[in-house]
Amino acid sequence: MSAEKPKEEKRCRVGAFLCVPDTRPTRIILWLVAIAIVSFVIGFGILAASGAFSSGAGHATTPFSKTAWILSNTTEFPLDGATAGNVSVNMGAGEITLNGGAADNDLLEVTVFSKAPEWQPEYSSSLEGLVKTVRITDKGHTGKAWFAVDSTNRWEIRLADRVPVAADVRIGAGDCRLVLGTLNLTSLDVHAGAGDTVIDFNGYHGGRFDAVIMHGIGDLTLRIPASGNFRITVVQGVGDIAGTGFILNNGAYTPVGFNPALPVNEIFVKQGVGVLRLEMV
């Protein structure tokens, strides 16, 4: 009996809660558990403290960088004295973000995120009188290996805020986010094949423009300022139109602050398959 007692005490020495055998493997396991817990607590604590998990950070659930292994390349197109611009963007597949915020002397800046430098799009620019034209065209998958077809192809485009711009955005497949509230548009053409598209006019105080939005398959969200003079004509294929607060008049949607006596920004939307969301902001 006396020989059994030390063994019993040894068994329960590790802790009152964990009455496990105090053997070498047990100690290793407990050490590993402790290391894992402490490491994760400190690691995620650092991330939380640095704001990486905040809602605006865009990395809500992962400690990994979204741009891991992705090379970025920024190209700037100066105004060269132009007072207006034509911007044409043509992407085969990927993700486009277009908004204001280019440097004062630039018509636009493009940052391309991709896995290899040779996948950069083709650029062309010309100046005719006081109008600068810039074209950004995807070279397609011809230069990409078979294993890279689904790899990242993201273009972040920043346009000049003060210069009147005619924008033409075409995307075959992928998501498209156009935040145009700070821009001064003269026209807008958007052609999207498949994917979700968000076009945000929140805060728009630029000149009058006409917009044509041809959307194939996917959801389309239009954010229209409540006080803006916008009129949206919709030809809807298969899918619902979700929108509250808009006034439907002769097949066109207008926000509550619409005034026909003032210049009207006309938006024509043709939607194939998917939900059209009209959001008043």
Q: Does the protein bind another protein through residue 42 (CB under 8 A)?
A: yes
CA torsion through residues 54, 222, 170, 168, sign: negative
Residue 183 burial by Cβ neighbours in a 10 Å radius (0-12, 13-18, 19+): buried
Smaller CB separation from another protein, 73 or 259:
73
Q: Does the protein bind another protein through residue 65 (CB under 8 A)?
A: yes
Q: Does the protein bind another protein through residue 173 (CB under 8 A)?
A: no
Distance CA 194, CA 174 (A): 6
Residue 262 burial by Cβ neighbours in a 10 Å radius (0-12, 13-18, 19+): exposed
Binding-site residue total for another protein (CB under 8 A)? 26
Q: Does the protein bind another protein through residue 28 (CB under 8 A)?
A: yes
Minimum Å gap between C-beta 43 and another protein is: 4
Which one, of 229, 226, 241, lies nearest residue 276 by Cα? Answer: 241
Q: Does the protein bind another protein through residue 39 (CB under 8 A)?
A: yes
Q: Does the protein bind another protein through residue 20 (CB under 8 A)?
A: no
Q: Does the protein bind another protein through residue 59 (CB under 8 A)?
A: yes
Distance CA 4, CA 2 (A): 5
Distance CA 232, CA 252 (A): 5
Q: Does the protein bind another protein through residue 32 (CB under 8 A)?
A: yes
Q: Does the protein bind another protein through residue 40 (CB under 8 A)?
A: yes
- Please give the residue ranges that form the binding site for another protein (CB under 8 A): 25, 28-29, 32-33, 35-37, 39-40, 42-44, 46-47, 50, 52, 59, 62-65, 67-69, 71
